Amino acid sequence: MSKYWSDFVATLDPYTPGEQPAVQNLTKLNTNENPYPPSPRVLAAMQQSINGNVRLYPPPNADKLKQTIADYHQLSVAQVFVGNGSDEVLAHVFNAFFRQSQPILFPDISYSFYPVYCGLYAIDYKTLPLAEDFSLNLDDYARANGGIIFPNPNAPTGRLVGLNAIEKLLQVNSQSVVVVDEAYIDFADTGSSAVALLQRYDNLLVVQTMSKSRSLAGLRIGYAMGSAELIEGLERIKNSFNSYPLGHVQLAAGVAAIEDEDYYQEMRQRVIASRETLTQSLQSLGFDVLPSAANFVFARHNSHGAEALAQALRDKKVIVRHFKKPRIEGFLRITVGSDTENALLIDTLTAIFEG
Ligand SMILES: *Cc1c(COP(=O)(O)O)cnc(C)c1O
């Protein structure tokens, strides 16, 4: 608290990101980063982008990056919005579409940034509980609302909801915006993305990021896809906030990351394969692991408490994420690392259990 703060600032309850420790030699499985580097073509494009142009502002409409994303997803350029990480895109989404008289709806267990944006923009919200098995039943959302948002696959559970259920929701809910936060969709089966529904539903917005599947968390590139009218709403907010959210280097990297399709597919398949191996290893150590379509698993041990386990792992230089929240305090969220990192996690857990 400070006497210089406005009353409003004092009411905020900011998001706490997973830590980025300065300590060396940690096995870092806490923030769902990709264990593999970005495409070599991305690094080359970044280097090339550092030239005489840094003196100049970047293109405010990020035309080339938008066109590249539009072509990749078979959309028009007017259906694409880009921002400084999908967190920024989401902030603009809440500001543009969710300041309504009815409360917005999202699951009780989902991305913990959503209530933070509600605080920032004075948005009323109501959470709806996930089922006992942590699956998301979209039938529950067929009720009056000022907007709907959910991650798919969900975070931090990793569970995926199918396109049929999303389409059914869009059919009964044509009056407000439905946002699908697809930060992890590239680790699900091909064809799981709600982008396929965009041509039929003007109120659908799909948000994706290059942070996870394209190994660019450090560059901050996120984007949204939707009808031209939704995108125009986002542009109005963005151009009232910061005209240049992405610099030259980010723009060049984003284009190259989409263009190197072979590299992306290979890394994506590697992570998916490692997720299955990691799941089996955790199960054989006595963990109950939720079915994951993401690059992390959500796991609960049958006898050890999660908070103590997270601490014991940390003491041995392996970091995972634990959320001290109702319903999920027994779980650890573990990022799928490289096979070497995953093996080290399993060996460390084995050593802890053997005491
Ligand atoms: C990681 C994540 C984001 C944010 O991604 P950035 O593009 O790095 O800002 C958004 N939503 C969910 C559910 C995430 O897990």
Atom of ligand 1 nearest to the CA of 111: 13
Amino acid identity for residue 275 in this structure = R
Grouping H, G, I as helix, E, B as strand and the rest as coil, residue 337 is coil
Give me the pLDDT at residue 17, please: 85
The per-residue pLDDT of the chain, averaged, comes to 97
Q: What pLDDT shows up at residue 23? A: 79
- The answer to whether residue 16 scores a pLDDT higher than 90 is no
Band of pLDDT at residue 266, cut at 50, 70 and 90 = very high
Q: How confident is the model at residue 19 (pLDDT cuts 50, 70, 90)?
A: confident
Q: From 117, 112, 194, 127, select the one nearest 161 (Cα to Cα).
A: 194
Q: Tell me the C-alpha distance between 302 and 15, whole Å.
A: 30
Phi and psi of 107, rounded to 5°?
Answer: -65, 150
* Token duo for residue 257: 């990351």
Position 1 pLDDT exceeds 90: no
List where CATH 3.90.1150.10 sits in the chain.
7-37+262-354
Question: Any bridge partners for residue 126, and if so which?
Answer: 105
The mean pLDDT of 177-191, rounded to a whole number, is 98
Which of 81, 86, 88, 109 is the pocket-test mutation for ligand 1 (most atoms within 8 Å of CB)?
A: 86
- pLDDT, mean of residues 170-182: 97
Residues written for the chain:
355
Chain mean position to CA 293: 13
Checking if the pLDDT of 21 tops 90, the result is: no
Cis bond upstream, residue 291 (ω within 30): no
Give every CB contact of residue 205 below 8 A, 6+ residues apart in sequence.
93, 97, 177, 178, 179, 180, 224, 225, 226, 230
Rg (CA), the chain: 20
pTM of the model: 0.97
Q: In angstroms, rounded to a whole number, what is the distance separating the alpha carbons of residues 120 and 159?
A: 28
Atom of ligand 1 nearest to the CA of 154: 13
| 27 sits in which H/E element | strand 27-28
Given this model, what pLDDT does residue 216 score? 98
Q: CATH fold of 7-37+262-354, please?
A: Aspartate Aminotransferase, domain 1 (3.90.1150)
The residue whose CB lies within 8 Å of the most ligand 1 atoms, and thus the one to mutate among 209, 214, 215, 250, is: 209
- Residue 80 backbone dihedrals phi, psi, to 5 degrees: -125, 135
pLDDT of residue 20: 85
Q: How does pLDDT run across 82-105, given as a tens digit for each residue? A: 999 999 999 999 999 999 999 999
- All CATH 3.40.640.10 domain ranges in the chain, comma separated: 40-260
Phi, psi (degrees; rounded to nearest 5) at 247: -85, 175
Which residue do the tokens 């080339």 mark? 64
DSSP code of residue 314: H
18-27, 83-92, 136-145, 329-338: which range is least confident on average?
Answer: 18-27
| Distance of alpha carbon 345 from alpha carbon 287, whole angstroms | 13
Q: Which residue reads 């809440």 in tokens?
A: 94
Average pLDDT over residues 57-84: 97
149 CA from centroid of ligand 1 (Å): 13
Any idea what DSSP says for residue 26?
A: -
pLDDT band at 140 (very low <50, low <70, confident <90, very high): very high
In CATH, the number for domain 40-260 is: 3.40.640.10
